[in-house]
């Protein structure tokens, strides 16, 4: 079997969750970076302990979990704190993503989708993706959806949108664009076409597993996978 990686991203209220839902309906393998980011900072984890050492216990909720809003307020206006948090969480997130990629690779999936909200902002991971997909919608639609979804006023909604890289800028970097400006059925048709194209693609991440690699066992396979991504 061969497999390659597809990076998926969007913007606030652009409809990425709608696209992911369709992909999951199709049986695609989707790795959600946001879910992993929450998992790696659960109580008693390595990252959780390191965050408490640097940010203090005042960022904890009553159940011991990290108050994401409180932590977000700290790092929003202090770039050095944001870099510190990233240095703690990103290695743990990457390790978990690699483990999940390995799982789907062994299961024989044609491709794996990495759902990464800041894929185009950081751009560090794009070099590992054979394809990148942007879920796009036009600015007026994005603003209206955010206001309706969050109950925000115009000024507040515009401020949140402007804090991200504009979708029109992101689409310059994407190899595929799903335009979610219309209705759900239009978006679904685009996702179906993209899925068919990726399934028929001759692109690949690795060649077939060698017999020697199989004999080397799970540990050797993890090592090779990590070396492939980091080298």
pLDDT of 202 reads 58
16-25 and 184-200 helices cross at what angle (nearest 10)? Answer: 60
Please name the residues in contact with 156: beta carbons below 8 A apart, sequence gap of 6 or more. Answer: none
Q: Which long-range contacts does 36-44 make (Cβ < 8 Å, 24+ apart)?
A: 36/93, 36/96, 36/97, 36/100, 37/89, 37/93, 38/68, 39/96, 40/89, 40/92, 40/93, 40/96, 41/66, 41/89
Q: Which residue has the tokens 């290695």?
A: 91
Q: Tell me the average pLDDT across 171-177.
A: 95
Give residue 72's pLDDT: 86
46-55 helix and 79-107 helix, angle to the nearest 10 degrees:
180
Q: Does 130 have pLDDT greater than 80? A: yes
Look at 34-43, 112-121, 200-209 and tell me which has the smallest mean pLDDT.
200-209
**pLDDT value for 223:** 42
Per-residue pLDDT, averaged over 151-166, amounts to 91
What's the pLDDT score for residue 204?
46
């Amino acid at each position: 079997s061969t497999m390659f990686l597809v990076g998926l991203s969007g913007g606030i209220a652009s409809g990425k969750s709608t696209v992911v839902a369709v992909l999951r309906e199709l049986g695609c393998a989707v790795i959600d970076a946001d879910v992993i980011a929450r998992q790696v900072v659960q109580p008693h984890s390595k990252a959780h302990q390191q965050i408490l050492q640097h940010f203090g216990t005042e960022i904890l909720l009553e159940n011991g979990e990290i108050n994401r809003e409180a932590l977000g307020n700290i790092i929003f206006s202090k770039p050095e704190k944001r870099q510190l948090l990233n240095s703690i969480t990103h290695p743990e997130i990457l390790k978990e993503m690699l483990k999940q990629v390995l799982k789907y690779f062994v299961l024989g999936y044609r491709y794996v989708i990495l759902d990464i909200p800041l894929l185009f902002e950081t751009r560090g991971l794009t070099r590992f993706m054979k394809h990148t997909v942007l879920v796009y919608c036009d600015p007026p639609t994005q603003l209206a959806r955010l206001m309706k979804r969050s109950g925000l006023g115009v000024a507040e909604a515009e401020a949140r949108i402007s804090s991200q890289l504009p979708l029109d800028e992101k689409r310059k970097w994407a190899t595929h664009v799903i335009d979610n400006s219309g209705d759900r059925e239009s978006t679904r048709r685009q996702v179906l076409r993209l899925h068919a194209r990726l399934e028929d693609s001759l692109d690949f991440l690795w060649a077939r597993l060698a017999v020697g690699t199989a004999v080397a066992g799970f540990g050797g396979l993890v090592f090779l996978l990590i070396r492939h991504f980091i080298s």
